[in-house]
Structure 1
Amino acid sequence: MPLFSGRCLSAAKLAGKTAIITGCNTGIGKETALDFYKRGARVIMACRSMERAEEAKSEIEKRCKDFPDTGNLVLEKLDLNSLSSVRDFAQKIIDTEPQVNILVNNAGVMMCPKGETEDGFEIQIGTNHLAHFLLTLLLLPRIRSSKPARIVTVSSRAHIRGTVNFEDINFKQRPYSAAEAYKQSKLANILFSKELALKLKEHNIDGVNTYSLHPGVIKTELGRHLNNSLFWGARPIIGFLLSPVMKSPELGAQTTIYCALDEKCANETGLYYSDCVVANPSQRAQDESLAKKLWELSAKLVGLGDYNPFTAPDPGVKAK
């Protein structure tokens, strides 16, 4: 248990609100879903494995069986390794959900062996950044019509030593480093959230705020690839060394929850948080020219084309 861990103390209710959380069948994503469900939200659990998502849904409902005024848990398939899956998921949300008040870009992979997504992206930049970049922008017309709304992206303090290699973002030409790829993707998360806030302001869109955050060092499945990425037996050694500062998933979810609903940050946007307070990210993460350059590259890589999420009309909900 860490000596200090921020907590979201807001008593805000989410009845009548819809929240989407990616990768919430385990870890801090599941704890976030549980919290929103307790507060009365309609929670879209966007997960790759429907079997594991169903298990998580059942567990959350069981843990909350004695709570009054709980919300609703809805399972939807989303595989962030596939932009086609991202587009299918986003279209289903547009077709069926009248509003999206909270989007939590939570899912991610960490320090995994070299691999590619279905679209040929290095797996960490593809999953952690590019898929969420596309998802957010496809949903933005609905989010805009649901304001006040918040977009929360889970990053990591690991971004501090990260750089974005624009000439070889997918490690096609340079030797692969799982650690460098992870740090690059987490820096990208913060730059995306910052640039999204600036573009919303440029288009005179208020009431849609963006947040990025470091959840802390968490006891979750995220580090399951450490043995492969570093050296045999690394995971238990690192776990032992970090145990004094490691958080439970419940504590690790607090900053996500704070950014998603706390009244104290309702008028803040484009900032980075740790332990439920504003924190200073690296100098690179505050570089507006870097953020714009990453946005342009990301839009090209995901095939955004002429689509403008800031001006595109909300098509409305189709009949079910």
Structure 2
Amino acid sequence: MSSDNWTEQDIPDQSGRVAIVTGANTGLGFETARALAARGAKVVLAVRDTGKGERAAVRMSGDVSVQALDLTSLDSVRTAAADLRAAHPRIDLLINNAGVMYTPKRTTADGFELQFGTNHLGHFALTGLLLDRLLPVPGSRVVTVSSTGHRIRAGIHFEDLQWERSYRRTGAYGQSKLANLMFTYALQRRLARHGTTSAAAAHPGLSNTELLRNTPAALRLPVTLLVPLLTQKPEMGALPTLRAATDPATAGGDYFGPGGTGELRGTPKRVSSSPASHDETVQERLWTASEKLTGVTFPVR
């Protein structure tokens, strides 16, 4: 297995493993789920639109099922977690992939700003509710998909987490993706005491997916012109996630992204996240706030 030119062919045999992938009916999630199923994993597509999920499942080979999950509703997250716990006594991989980007100002069913609520809080709750199914399984992993956007106008705005005073879609996206990394690092500290499950993160670089549909109007023309030149196909964008999930050499707290210039494209390698993402004081404050907002506590402290 080449560490410098890691491809889908380097995914080890996944037979006997159970993988849950959120947002798996399209784009990066679809390619992640497809590749895992092709290597023998039992894959659950956890998606908001089960019709689209079923159509995606028939395009994959292997053992693939669909679970309804709407990350914008904590009621849906709890229902999905209960269904998954009933169906799967053990879980090997939880891949927190689903996300929204640069959306107009909207809130979730629970009143959270849409990007923070979907990208971070929904996955925080889902992970906490499923974690006891991973903890007994040696080599199990939680992989959360972040973005280079975690560096853009990014901070955790505790004074206005839900952007009620003013709203900037790029800033809100940056906060949610920074939160993904802080969650990963804080979770790994807790998991390290158990020694079986680990947490890692990944970003896809610049991939041509449906996430780009909410690009602000002022950027739409340049993005449209540059997309064919700068982006990579979803199957390449999924490789950092797949490496974080399956490479035997992945360590807890690793962060993978494309290895090309600016981490925009290319085969995956370990990359660095911003200094802000490593602030443990802010990580723990975010963890406490997330527990309070979701009502979910973790079986690791």
Structure 1 length normalisation: TM-score? 0.86
Q: Residues 24 and 47 of structure 2 are in contact (CA less than 8 Å); yes or no, is this contact kept in structure 1? A: yes
For the 8 Å contact 1:104–1:151, the answer to whether it is kept is: yes
Cα deviation, 1:258-290, whole Å, max 9, x if unaligned, reads 01111221xx11122212222111110111111
Match of 1:213 among 202, 206, 209: 202
**Aligned equivalents of 1:27, 1:11: Cα separation in 2:** 19
Q: Pick 1 or 2: higher relative contact order, CA cutoff 8 A, min separation 6.
A: 1
Structure 1 residue 146: deviation in Å?
Answer: 2.1
Q: Secondary structure at the residue paired with 1:44?
A: strand
What's the counterpart of residue 301 of structure 1? 293
Where do residues 155-234 of structure 1 align in structure 2 (5 Å cutoff)? 155-161=146-152, 162-173=154-165, 175-201=166-192, 204-226=193-215, 230-231=216-217, 234=219
Equivalent residues of 1:8, 1:262 under 8 A apart: no
Residue 244 of structure 2 is aligned to residue 259 of structure 1: yes
Match of 1:145 in 2: 136
Which structure 2 segments of 5+ residues have no match? 259-267
Report the counterpart of residue 10 of structure 2 in structure 1.
Answer: 10
Alpha-carbon distance in 1 for matches of 2:37, 2:222: 36
Q: Secondary structure at the match of 1:98?
A: coil
Tell me the distance in 2 between the aligned counterparts of 1:193 and 1:47. Answer: 22
CA contact (8 A) 2:8 2:35 kept: no
Contact 2:24 2:30 in 1 (8 A): yes
Match of 2:253 in 1: 270
Partner of 1:35: 35
Q: Deviations over 1:20-66 (max 9, x none)?
A: 000010001000111011101100100000111111111224xxxxx
Deviation at 1:243, TM superposition (A): 3.2
Count how many residue pairs are aligned between Structure 1 and Structure 2: 288
Q: Identity rate of aligned residues, in percent? A: 38
* Structure 1 unaligned spans of 5+: 62-70, 312-320
Alpha-carbon distance, 1:308 to partner: 3.9
Larger radius of gyration: 1
In structure 1, distance between residues paired with 2:11 and 2:53: 27
Is the contact made by 1:10 and 1:263 (CA closer than 8 Å) also made in structure 2? no
Residue of structure 1 equivalent to 2:265? none
Tell me which stretches of 4 or more aligned residues in structure 1 moved more than 6 Å.
none
Aligned pairs (5 A) from 1:76-115: 76-115=67-106
- Match for residue 74 of structure 1 among 59, 65, 72: 65
